[in-house]
Structure 1
């Protein structure tokens, strides 16, 4: 097993400081890109709390400290987002913001691609509007 394979993605990308920059870059794009206006409007005016939640989630999701589940329990992402209409355009806007943030913050191209691929599957699974093959109540992507 190589050193790269033995490391978690969290370690590969540089840990919490990189995830902090990733989340800040993501929300900066959400604030400024016209394509992201719809998803920005789903959030409260103040983003401090939700940034912290996403940072904790991504740290844990990438193999870092389990700060998210210690505070919130199981992610239940679809359930937590059911109050929002998420269709293809919302998914695409979210991925546009995340793609730019990944490009800006994740130095290793292979890691960046791996993260994006997994996040794209997750974003598609989050859709709860027409055309979502998971509307039947599936718990896993």
Structure 2
């Protein structure tokens, strides 16, 4: 039988962003708010247009991806293999405008979901780095 207790003096395991967001329900709420904002806000029209007429598939894929990326279950990898984010997004024209709209939408969703300020700051940096890397055309 394995002893699951930490050895005396060992550092406590870090709490993942996934756990800080409230697990799957918290990540789902963040993703749903993100896509709801995209549908509601006229200033996000260019970003919304990239997603086609239906958002259900995009909602699920972002949810599955973020669960694993944030330190939770790897739902996306289990379904589709390695995320290969840039390669999967190459068919879509992504420039600075789309990047900035995606970030504005996600940052607003995090504020609306009351993500703790320190976690939000960490995620904003990571989201920016990833979104900037996704650009595949010059504006």
Alignment TM class, shorter chain as reference: 0.7 to 0.9
Name the SS for the 2:71 alignment partner.
coil
Q: RMSD of the TM alignment (CA)?
A: 1.6
Extract unaligned runs of 5+ from structure 2.
1-9
**Residues 106, 83 of structure 1: CA spacing in aligned structure 2 closer, same or farther, 3 A cutoff?**
same
After superposing the two structures, state which structure 1 stretch, 42-51 or 20-29, moved more.
42-51
* Distance of 1:58 and 1:96 partners within structure 2: 17
Matches within 5 A, 1:83-98: 83-98=91-106
* 1:28 to partner: Cα distance: 1.0
State whether structure 2 residue 103 is matched by structure 1 residue 125. Answer: no
Corresponding residue number in structure 2 for 1:101: 109
Q: How many residues align?
A: 130
Corresponding residue number in structure 1 for 2:38: 30
Larger radius of gyration: 2
Extract unaligned runs of 5+ from structure 1.
132-141
Structure 1 segments of 4+ aligned residues over 3 angstroms from their partners = none
